[in-house]
Chain A
C-alpha cells in the first residue's frame, strides 16, 4: 500500500511504531555506550593492575637483591681476602651478613603477611589482653635494640582489656616504633602513649623526626608508597610495613592514621574497639 492510500489512523499508527523504533534504537545506543564505558573502565583497571604487578615485581626484586648483595659481597670478601683482613673487620662483616639475612627474613614475612591479609587468610588468635603490657614489652625491647634513642611509654590512665591477637598488635607497635626510629635522629625521643575514649583504646607513637609532607599523609599507608624524596639514606624496605599495620588494625575493627609536621616529627595513632559489656579496667 502506498502512503497516499493509507488512512490517517494507519499513518499515525505507523508513525508511533517508527517513533518507538527510534526510541528503542536510542536506548540500545545508550546501553552500548554504557557497555563501552564499562569495558574501557575494566581495561583501565586491568592496565593499572598490570602496572602495579610490574612495580611490585621490580621493587621486590630490588629489595631482595640489596641484602643479597651484602651477603654475597661480604662472604666472598671473607673468602678471597682472608689473609688481608683483621679479625675485628671479619667480625664486622659477619655481623653485617647476619643483619642482611634478618632483613631478607623480614621482607619475606611482610610479603607473606600481606598476601594472607589480602586473601582473607590471616587467622587471628584473639584473647583478652592488656594493651599496657604490650606497649611496655615493645618499648623495653626497642630500647635494647636501639639504645641511641630514648623510647618511653607514657600511659596515665587505667585501660580496659582488649580482645586482640597479641602477636599481631605487637607487630603493629614494633613497626610503628621502628619507623619512628628510622625517620628520626639519634638521641631524640620516641613516646608511646595510650588512653581510652568512646569505647576504644587508642595508642600513639610520636617521634621528633623529619616529619611527612602534608601531601603524603593520606598515602603513607598505601602499598609500596614511598615519599618521593627519600628523607633518610637508610630507609630501605618494600614499603609494606604501614600497609600491613593498617590491615592488621582494620581486621581488629580499629582505625589508623598519622598527624605530622615537616621537620618536627610525626605521630601515628591507632585504635582498638572495646565492647562496653566486656570492659574490664586494669588497675
Chain B
C-alpha cells in the first residue's frame, strides 16, 4: 500500500469487530497507518506508545467507556494535543455538545459512509498542521 499523508498513524478504539474492520480498512486504503484497540485499557496503552496522530473513538466500550478515554487524554500532557474524532451510535445533541466541550475535534454518528469517515479524518488532520 502506498503511504500518503506522511504516513500518519490513526488509532481506532472500537469494540464492535465489523465496525472496527470497516473503519480500519477505509483508513488503510487512504494510506494511513492504523492501530486498533477494542477496549479502553488497550487503547490507552497504544496511545502511550506515542505514535498516534489521531484517535477515532467509540463511546460505548466494555468496562470503561469512551468518555473515560477522552477525559484521561485531555488531562495527560503527552496526550492532550492528539485530536480525537468521536465515532458513535449515540445521536443525542447533548452527547455531541459534551464531547465537543471536552475537546473532541469532530463527532460522527453511525452509520456513516466511507467518504464521510475519510473526509472527517482528512479535515481534522489538516487543521492540526
Which residues of B approach A to under 8 Å, CB–CB? 15-19, 21-23, 25-26, 29, 38-39, 60, 62-63, 89-92, 109-115, 117
Asked if B22 and A66 make an inter-chain contact with CB atoms under 8 angstroms apart, the answer reads: no
**Given A72-B112, A73-B111, 14 more pairs with CB closer than 8 A:** A65-B111, A66-B16, A66-B110, A68-B110, A69-B22, A70-B22, A73-B26, A73-B112, A76-B113, A76-B114, A77-B114, A80-B115, A81-B114, A233-B17
Q: What is the bound-complex CA distance between A100 and B15, given in angstroms?
A: 16
Q: What is the bound-complex CA distance between A58 and B29, given in angstroms?
A: 33
Instruction: Point out the residue from B18, B62, B109, B114 that lies within 8 Å of A65, measured CB to CB.
Output: B109
Q: Which residues of B contact A70 (CB under 8 A)?
A: 16, 18-19, 22, 111
19 contacts between A and B (CB under 8 A): A58-B92, A62-B60, A62-B90, A65-B109, A65-B110, A69-B16, A69-B110, A70-B18, A73-B23, A73-B114, A74-B18, A77-B25, A77-B29, A77-B114, A99-B18, A229-B63, A230-B63, A233-B15, A234-B17
Cβ of A162 within 8 Å of any chain B Cβ, yes or no, is no
Q: Which residues of A contact B90 (CB under 8 A)?
A: 58, 61-62
Q: Which residues of A contact B112 (CB under 8 A)?
A: 69, 72-73
Cβ of A245 within 8 Å of any chain B Cβ, yes or no, is no
Instruction: Point out the residue from B15, B25, B89, B92 that lies within 8 Å of A69, measured CB to CB.
Output: B89
Interface residues of chain A: helix, strand, loop or mixed (majority):
helix
Asked if B60 and A72 make an inter-chain contact with CB atoms under 8 angstroms apart, the answer reads: no
Instruction: Point out the residue from A66, A73, A229 that lies within 8 Å of B113, measured CB to CB.
Output: A73
Asked if A72 and B111 make an inter-chain contact with CB atoms under 8 angstroms apart, the answer reads: yes
Asked if A72 and B113 make an inter-chain contact with CB atoms under 8 angstroms apart, the answer reads: yes
* In the complex, per-residue mask of A73-85: 1 if CB is within 8 Å of any chain B CB, else 0: 1101100110010
Which residues of A approach B to under 8 Å, CB–CB? 58, 61-63, 65-66, 68-74, 76-77, 80-81, 84, 96, 99-100, 229-230, 233-234, 236
Q: What is the bound-complex CA distance between A58 and B88, given in angstroms?
A: 12
Q: Which residues of B contact A229 (CB under 8 A)?
A: 62-63
**Chain A CB within 10 A, most for which of B18, B22, B39, B60:** B18
Asked if B91 and A100 make an inter-chain contact with CB atoms under 8 angstroms apart, the answer reads: no
Asked if A65 and B91 make an inter-chain contact with CB atoms under 8 angstroms apart, the answer reads: yes
